Structure 1
């Protein structure tokens, strides 16, 4: 009885507090001017010296008070033209994703390329011409253990991490600005020993036979951060231990086997400035006293003068390297996220095996997390 009375008092207190806050706080709805309500074409275009790289993504921004904050730009006409007057037409493979009709199309060093877009409303856009510069090879792609200090319950705790880094050197001295991107791939496996709940909600361990098609999967992810570096003020065009990625403790990427493929580009000063400005804005956003994000328009403009565009089209020479990291190559603690799954006999969930059901799709089949097709490079 005392427990029920205490719970009721807590509920009543929260209810009254909610009413008080509702009556005391007026929602702030800023007035939006005409520019805030404009939709802007957002262009993400990068072609490389790798076959099949002629892909351009088009999105449309929406007013500030609208969710989601972008839509795919469908129904556009897109093509790329080089300085030899060779034209590459792109078709809409997915909503807002445009790819070259020639699956083997690739950029060539010393050739200049330009992107042309006509959106669904008939407005024309074009990029500035971009010359493909030769990029230096990646000298080293390696990893090392590192330590980070975090504060938990006002106590400083040291944790392990794995840093993946690159070393590069352009002996010709022609590269002043570097850019990198990567795709990481890791293996996941659903365990045969699971934790299930009996009819009374009590956990117990049992062994099951998980079919191979839903047990072994590979997850691939592109990078989500901006990786650029300037060596313009150095006497040599050298990059030393530039950190591509840091993986912390109890991450599932390191539990079995991990691989990362890094691509390196030599970029122009203008493109470096564009990406570096975006990086500064992304890293500083979120505080009342942060700098106000300025518009970063890139090298796309409306040739009709009737629309605005954000983003960048670039053509680069790509140099790549891949490494594998085995679970015994480091001492950073890792985790298998499937070991936290709970299974029940309630048919209302997601079917797992036999009469067991998962409460989430993730725990029912590894294909909800990755692909069960083993990568060619694995």
Structure 2
């Protein structure tokens, strides 16, 4: 989620970096370090992602490999992260566990010899999630040309007085392909035979890419009700087509981190005119030790975390009378007949279209007065094999 946002941030940053109090010529820094680092009190391996900036979103960022990445606590205990894949650095959950009240800093030494250091960050007390629920909603698409129907995912919770929170979420959903393979040609028998459908049901996953934050500073109460975390459309995606799950993570963050995310959110949502005035410049909490004026894209994030997972079934969406997507990817069945013109036999159709990978065999077309196969019903592979767009391994946490 954060990596996607930070590349948008780079474009915004180019427009506002000349404003006080962060006066720097972005043209001198076309290849900036991008840091995505979140440390929580969860018992898991935490990851730091390092890459280089890109001038536009169409380009693939280069990873920053071979760096020395260290997390240091208030007692100068160090956790040296392991690079598990290029640009991805990980803690060892058996050796490192952040605790509430602890203060942590991130240091990075790149393979080019540049050293970067974050401000110390204290892990604040946890907040609470009382409930996660959903409600019928509608929302305009990105182009604001179509109104979409679906559900809002909402959170009820609380914080300590004057607290700040941020929400992340992971979506997982089960889906089915509409036209699985039901037949194949058995060359040993020289005949067609029905087969048990395979790769019919799979799962997909999506990680949040939105900035969702809240400040309790201006509230008389530390209670929160019906906070929208995200919108899930029902007709233009297959998320709600069978069974959907969302894991909502609520982080207790500092005022400084809240202000960073709030400025980033406003900039990426409301920039509009590139010559429009921005009242602030966005600066994270990481700097180059030897060149403090060098922009570093990112924020070393810490937060105590609470999570809550819910499931939504297709029948619940149907009960709300919401439209449900029929087939994703524009799936349909195409009929091919052995008419002696384009194809002389069903086997010729099979070898020309199925064996080459253009189609998968859904079923056969039979003669009206017999069981003779005279043609084939074919579907594009993406419509008959769920592993082409999803994972056939059920997630460990999944419940049906």
| 1:259 alignment counterpart | 245
Q: Does 1:319 align with 2:306?
A: yes
RMSD: 3.2
Aligned in 2, Cα 1:339/1:40: closer, same or farther, shift over 3 Å?
A: closer
| 1:22 alignment counterpart | none
| 1:98 alignment counterpart | 89
In the alignment, the residues of structure 1 paired with residue 95 and residue 358 of structure 2 have an alpha-carbon distance, to the nearest angstrom, of: 41
In the alignment, the residues of structure 1 paired with residue 306 and residue 57 of structure 2 have an alpha-carbon distance, to the nearest angstrom, of: 40
Q: Does 1:165 align with 2:154?
A: yes
| 2:5 alignment counterpart | none
What is the deviation of 1:45?
0.5
Q: How many aligned residue pairs are there?
A: 327
What is the deviation of 1:316?
1.2
Q: Does 1:41 align with 2:27?
A: no
Aligned residue runs from structure 1 range 193-342, under 5 A: 211-212=197-198, 214-250=199-235, 251-288=237-274, 290-291=276-277, 295-305=281-291, 307-330=294-317, 331=320, 332-338=322-328, 340-342=330-332
Aligned in 2, Cα 1:343/1:168: closer, same or farther, shift over 3 Å?
A: same
In the alignment, the residues of structure 1 paired with residue 144 and residue 28 of structure 2 have an alpha-carbon distance, to the nearest angstrom, of: 44
- Name stretches of at least 5 consecutive residues in structure 1 with no aligned partner: 1-32, 195-206
TM-score by length of 1: 0.77
Q: Does 1:130 align with 2:126?
A: no
- Name stretches of at least 5 consecutive residues in structure 2 with no aligned partner: 1-23, 182-192, 335-349, 363-375
In the alignment, the residues of structure 1 paired with residue 278 and residue 286 of structure 2 have an alpha-carbon distance, to the nearest angstrom, of: 22
What is the deviation of 1:321?
0.4
Per-residue CA deviation, residues 55-77 of structure 1 (Å, 9 max, x unaligned), is: 11111114x37961632111111
In the alignment, the residues of structure 2 paired with residue 153 and residue 314 of structure 1 have an alpha-carbon distance, to the nearest angstrom, of: 33
Given that residues 286 and 296 in structure 2 are in contact (C-alpha distance below 8 angstroms), is that contact kept between their aligned partners in structure 1? yes
Aligned in 2, Cα 1:104/1:342: closer, same or farther, shift over 3 Å?
A: farther
In the alignment, the residues of structure 2 paired with residue 94 and residue 153 of structure 1 have an alpha-carbon distance, to the nearest angstrom, of: 39
Q: Does 1:178 align with 2:165?
A: yes
What is the deviation of 1:193?
6.7
Aligned in 2, Cα 1:333/1:108: closer, same or farther, shift over 3 Å?
A: same
Per-residue CA deviation, residues 36-59 of structure 1 (Å, 9 max, x unaligned), is: 252111111001111224211111
Q: Does 1:368 align with 2:360?
A: no
SS of 1:113 mapped into structure 2:
strand
| 2:47 alignment counterpart | 55
Given that residues 148 and 160 in structure 1 are in contact (C-alpha distance below 8 angstroms), is that contact kept between their aligned partners in structure 2? yes
Aligned in 2, Cα 1:210/1:358: closer, same or farther, shift over 3 Å?
A: farther
What is the deviation of 1:284?
1.8
Aligned in 2, Cα 1:366/1:158: closer, same or farther, shift over 3 Å?
A: closer
Per-residue CA deviation, residues 253-276 of structure 1 (Å, 9 max, x unaligned), is: 111101100010111110001011
TM-score by length of 2: 0.73
Given that residues 243 and 313 in structure 2 are in contact (C-alpha distance below 8 angstroms), is that contact kept between their aligned partners in structure 1? yes
What is the deviation of 1:180?
0.5
